[in-house]
Structure formats: C-alpha cells, structure tokens
Structure 1
C-alpha cells in the first residue's frame, strides 16, 4: 500500500522531479500543488506527509502549517526553504511542522526525514561564520518585529535600505 504524499512548491521542475522520484520508490502516491491555498481547497483526505516550501509565490508557507495539519492530518509536515534561519525553524516547529530542511536537500535526506531514520551516522558540527551569525541575528530580530523592516532596522541600528539589501542576498551557507 502506498503512502499519500503532498508536495506544495511553486517550483514546477522541483515538484515534477520529486513526484517522479517518490512515485518510483513504489512507496508513495504523490499529489502536487503550486500554492498552499490550492491544497486547502482540495478535499480533506488524510495523508502520510506534506513537503511544504516556505516561500510559495506570494504565500508564506509558515502561515499555512496549522491549517494544513488540520485539513490533512499528516504524520509528517516538513518545511523546505532556501532561506533557512534559526528564527524560521523555531516558528515552523511551534506552528506544527515536524521537520525543517534547507534547500537544496537530497532525495535521500527527504526519504530519511519521512521515514524517521537519521540521514547519516556522523554529524559534523562546525561553528557559524561571521556572515552566518549576522544572518541568524537579523532573522531573529526580524521575527521579533513580525517582519516589519523599518522596526527591525531601527532595532539593529542600521538604515532600512541597508537591511533590505542584506535580506535580498541569499543566506550564507556552511562550507
């Protein structure tokens, strides 16, 4: 018996590849949506898991976590994002996500998260770089001010435009 899996992401190439790979395992039946609101408009049926992008066009995936949990009652609701930060991870988990992955995530990593197995036996702990620490701090302060750029810039002691430039850059990655 296959496990129903829902993928909500506005990247059509990514969803097509993931749907094909999950279906090919023989363990999953996959439904894809380009918006969380579209998924919520579909009939409510229990599912095994939901892979939810954090930034879906003009929607913020974090805002739909509890509604998706109620609508589909998944065992796993995994947030996937290219804008990972500690603040958004904490917010996602508080709202009901069962896991959080930074993109790009490997297919094997997704399988491990869905099946509850560790991704690897060795975990490397590297200290944050200065750029990563700054990014995390900005994200935390931004979350504290409910995404208000002006109030966040004031709290950080920087010009609003400088903060906007920093936010437009991609988050620094660990090397």
Structure 2
C-alpha cells in the first residue's frame, strides 16, 4: 500500500470497478489494490447492479458504455444502497450531457479514457470543491484526433465506409490512419 493514499482511504476501502473491457479492468484492479483499495470487478450493468446491491462499496469506478446498457444504472443503485459511495465515471465516450447526468445522480468526477490509476485514485479521494489540476502530460493534437477516429470507428461497429462517411473523410485515407499505430 502506498503511503500517499493510505491515510486518506479510511477504514472501508471497498471498491467496485465496472467496465466491460476485461484486460483494462483487471489491470486497474491490480493497480488500485497496490494503492490500498479492496477491488471487486464487474463487466456488465447486471453484474454491477447485483454487486452494488449485495455489498455496496465505499468507492466505485463505473464505465458509462457497457455491452448490456448504461453505467448510469449502476450509479443509481450504488447511491440508493449507499449514499456516501464515492463514484467516478470513466469512459471513452465523453460528452457534456452524460457528464452532467452522471454528476446529477451522484458521481463525484468524470474522467475520459485513457486515465491511469493515479488519476482515478486522485478523483476518488478528492475532497471539497477544489478544482482539478490540469493534466501534466496532455494528449497531443494528433493523439486526440486518433482517439476521436477510434471512437467513431467503434460506434460504427468497425465499418470503415460508415466511419469515413460520418467523419467526412475519404475511405482510403481512413484506412491508412487505422493501419498506423496510435500517436503519442
């Protein structure tokens, strides 16, 4: 357990991680365990709701877009069963409307993927009305563009022609971009 976060955690260190990206949620669970949390994972809305009902955690990190529905449903169950639960929304599909909806039903913060365990821990343990610090290593413009293209590509079920049409881009140009590695 790292000394930086141990004192801030308090006696109940239970953490529910809800994300359908299995490799990501496993890595995050390991990293959060090293920071003193007691993580439990769920990979669907149904599983997240069931775990929130059975053992409401002190902390939760919930992805908004899950295969079987919207992570906001899990947040509602968490706050019905444990109003003091500190919930952070973590998503690759960030939008102002969903951020506002998440905060209205009880989320304390809204982070865009890719976020690392330190970002998540800081958000979970943040107290008061302090404004978040700007990121130390913001994404480059090329990386932001690449992330946006990847999101639209996934929203179009990996259909290159549909993605190109939605991005007003030539299909071959899009294919070349998708074939390259992500920029730093």
Shift in Å at residue 2 of structure 1? Answer: 5.6
Aligned residues: 135
User: Partners of 1:66 and 1:123 in 2: how far apart?
Assistant: 29
* Residue aligning to 1:59: 69
User: Partners of 1:123 and 1:34 in 2: how far apart?
Assistant: 28
RMSD after superposition: 3.3
Distance 1:39 1:74, change over 3 A: farther
* Residue aligning to 2:39: 30
User: Partners of 2:111 and 2:126 in 1: how far apart?
Assistant: 14
The 10-residue stretch of structure 1 (90-99 or 56-65) with the greater mean CA deviation from structure 2:
56-65
* Residue aligning to 1:165: 166
User: Partners of 1:119 and 1:106 in 2: how far apart?
Assistant: 19
8 A contact 1:113–1:119 mirrored in 2: no
- SS across alignment from 2:107: coil
Shift in Å at residue 122 of structure 1? Answer: 5.2
TM-score, with structure 2 as normaliser: 0.61
Q: Which structure 2 segments of 5+ residues have no match?
A: 1-10, 149-161, 168-184
1:62-106 CA distance string (max 9 Å, x none): 233212221344531111111111111111111221111000012
> Which structure 1 residue ranges, 4+ long, deviate > 6 Å from structure 2?
117-120
* Residue aligning to 1:80: 90
* Residue aligning to 2:119: 109
